[in-house]
Amino acid sequence: MEAEAARRITAPVHATGPEGPWHAVREGLARRGNASVFTTWGEWLPAVLADPVLRPLLGRDWPRYRQTADPVLRYRFVASRLAVKYTAAAALGTSPAQLDLAYKIGGRPYLRGFDQIDLSLTHTDDLIAVGISRTGRIGIDTEPVDRRLSFDLLQDQVCTPAERDTLAALPEAEQTAGMLRLWTLKEAYTKALGQGLRLDFSSFGFATGSSGDTGLLAPDGTPAAHGEWVFGTYPVLGRYLVSIACHDTGLDTSRDTAAATMLDEGFMAMVSGLIRTENPVPEP
């Protein structure tokens, strides 16, 4: 399973700001159909404070940015949106300002006009992580490695019977680490499904060993998927765990992820129609 995840999931890339490295995102999307980025909001602070084109970069998020009174919350918000836009722009070979970031009910971000692209955004403390996929749904979640999730208090809400049996036999330190890994994997999976905490975490499971990679399991510990989902957990910056859930629809999607190729034709027609309406061609 570890080799399978390494083959099918692009390991998270550390983006230190607008500089990237964005080539790794482009390569990951081209080779595996997905990519992810982790960064800290402080690494984007110089760009936030100095960028003269911040307003067009933020687009529809500009009013929320301006109306957020707390400076820390304001900078975290804008850094996360810039991280999403720069990640998507790198994958699509376009400018971040050309992308229209919108939100579904529940707050999940998406790119208007790019129906083939799925996005996931998560953050905790100063860490921001972004996932992007062209092969199906993607979910990403992160937690500090020192977060303590009590097995005794949470086992019935978080664990399947098979997971409870395995974790109960472990020493306390391994038990705590196993709970945290399971939590991030289940968060990533339910985010990919668009369900979040609304889905019962005890209704599906993962292997509880030390490996960072696993398959989806039924409550009794038997396999619940047959290759359409792949999962991975990665330590980043020495103090966080990042878990990723990737779904592969099995469709032969184009490896050409340039914006001109991936842009939804219906959306493009709508934009062209608006342009013609606002700028009518004069009659001869």
pLDDT at 256: 56
Residue 155 is assigned to a structural domain of this protein: yes
Distances (CA, A) of 141 to 2, 127, 230, 274: 19, 11, 14, 38
Average pLDDT, the chain: 85
pLDDT for residue 261 is more than 60: no
With 0-12 / 13-18 / 19 or more C-beta atoms within 10 angstroms meaning exposed / middle / buried, residue 172 is exposed
Q: Cα–Cα distance between 206 and 160 in angstroms, integer?
A: 9
Tokens of 248: 């592969």
Residue-number span of the structural domain to which 156 is assigned:
2-278
Residue 188 is assigned to a structural domain of this protein: yes
pTM for the full model?
0.84
Residue 283 is assigned to a structural domain of this protein: no
Q: Cα–Cα distance between 242 and 233 in angstroms, integer?
A: 6
Residue 119 is assigned to a structural domain of this protein: yes
Q: If you average pLDDT over residues 202-211, what whole number do you get?
A: 75
pLDDT at 250: 73
Band of the pLDDT at 158, cuts 50, 70, 90?
A: very high
**Domain of 34: which CATH number?**
3.90.470.20
pLDDT at 272: 41
Give the pairing of strands 127-133 and 118-124.
antiparallel
Residue 284 is assigned to a structural domain of this protein: no
Q: How many CB atoms lie within 10 A of CB 210?
A: 9
pLDDT at 267: 41
Handedness of CA 17, 246, 106, 198 (dihedral sign): negative
Structurally, how many domains does the chain consist of?
1
The string over 55-93, giving b where at least 16 C-beta atoms fall within 10 Å of a residue's C-beta and e elsewhere, is eebbbebeeebeeeeeeeebbbbbbbbbbbbbbbbbbbb
Q: If you average pLDDT over residues 255-262, what whole number do you get?
A: 55
pLDDT for residue 65 is more than 80: yes
Residue 243 is assigned to a structural domain of this protein: yes
Q: What share of the chain is helix, strand, coil (3-state, %, to 5)?
A: 45, 20, 35
pLDDT for residue 230 is more than 70: yes
pLDDT tens digits, 89-106: 999 999 999 999 999 888
Residue 258 is assigned to a structural domain of this protein: yes
Band of the pLDDT at 15, cuts 50, 70, 90?
A: very high
DSSP-derived 3-state class of residue 123: strand
Residue 126 is assigned to a structural domain of this protein: yes
| Cα distance between the two ends of the chain | 67
